Amino acid sequence: MVYDVVIIGAGPAGLSAGLYAARARLKTLIVEKEAAGGQIATTDEVANYPGSIEHATGPSLVARMVQQAEEFGAEKVSDTVVSVDLEGDIKTVKCEKNEYKTKTIIIATGAVPKHIGCPGEKELTGRGISYCATCDGAFFEDLEVFVVGGGDSAVEEAMYLTKFARKVTIVHRRDALRAAKSIQEKAFKNEKIAFMWDSVITEVKGDGILQSMVVKNVKTGEETEYFADEDDGTFGIFVFVGYDPATKLFEGMVDMENGYIKTDDNMKTNIPGVFAAGDNRVKPLRQVVTATADGAIAATQAEKYIEEHF
């Protein structure tokens, strides 16, 4: 069987593409290796998505998107893509469980969180170090936590963590935040939030659980080791320092810039019949609203491509 479109990734871009493609009566398959939703599935509140005024959470918004795409007939499978053949009229998406033939492909693989990159981080991930406040915030009830980063997501997640932690300290390598002014204002007013400026974490330590961290002042070079409160025994570090595009699979096939896929305004890559949508492509703003727009455009362009070539 040959699909009209195979969408790789079930974040907002992939689900939006699935909805538009299925509504256009294209035989549509969405392939996702993890839970649907991508980064938004780990977001507590989606306050900047138009129409989301009833305090929709990331998971609740994703659940609606999945239901909508499936109601129009999009198929969804849980599988991991291991290779793709993008040449020719019929393209191949090879997964661990199955292989799929398709006329068009929409790459909606998104991006993954960047790490601190310090000794001990890998060993203590899930043992005090996290990249998802909504997933792990509740584990740090009445403990102290540190949030690494200074952008919108870092400051928003720091505020979210004040629901659980007794104190939240934002650790930022600069002397001013990069977050939107409205978000900064809320954070500065929050009595539970403190700031550690001009600082980076150079090492994390612990015997099976996070117990201390070494922080370096980037201006003076001075290093200080912070230990968990004796009564607590541990603390939390939440890392929000940006993302890396999940595009390694397509290196050397589609044109890229710093790992992000280059497309035109119609989401077309340099390969006919191959489109990209969402956070994995070169673009000025990576938000749910721009991802869903990308997905809609990619699907309608895939439909046009099929009409013209088949």
Q: pLDDT tens for residues 227-245? A: 999 999 999 999 999 889 9
How much is the mean pLDDT over the chain?
Answer: 94
How much is the pLDDT for 38? Answer: 83
How much is the pLDDT for 52? Answer: 77
For domain 2-112+243-309, the CATH class is: alpha beta
Which candidate in 85, 118, 135, 232 is catalytic? 135
What do you get for the CA distance between the two ends of the chain, in Å? 15
How much is the pLDDT for 287? Answer: 86
How much is the pLDDT for 59? Answer: 87
| Residue 90: pLDDT over 90 | yes
CA distances from 203 to 212, 236, 240, 261 (A): 9, 14, 17, 33
Other CB atoms within 10 A of residue 196 CB: 19
How much is the pLDDT for 98? Answer: 97
CATH 3.50.50.60 domain extents, the chain: 2-112+243-309, 121-239
| Residue 132: pLDDT over 90 | no
Higher pLDDT, 59 or 97: 97
Which among 110-124, 273-287, 293-307 has the top mean pLDDT? 293-307
How much is the pLDDT for 286? Answer: 85
| Residue 120: pLDDT over 90 | yes
Per the confidence metrics, is the pTM higher than 0.85? no
How much is the pLDDT for 46? Answer: 76
Q: Which tokens in the block code for residue 163? A: 């629901």
Above pLDDT 70, what percent of the chain? Answer: 98
Which candidate in 4, 44, 79, 136 is catalytic? 136
Q: pLDDT tens for residues 45-61? A: 777 788 877 777 888 88
| Residue 179: pLDDT over 80 | yes
How much is the pLDDT for 194? Answer: 98
Cβ-based neighbours of 143, under 8 Å, separated by 6 or more: 164, 165, 166, 232, 234, 235, 236
| Residue 42: pLDDT over 80 | no
For domain 121-239, the CATH class is: alpha beta
132 catalytic per annotation: yes
How much is the pLDDT for 36? Answer: 85
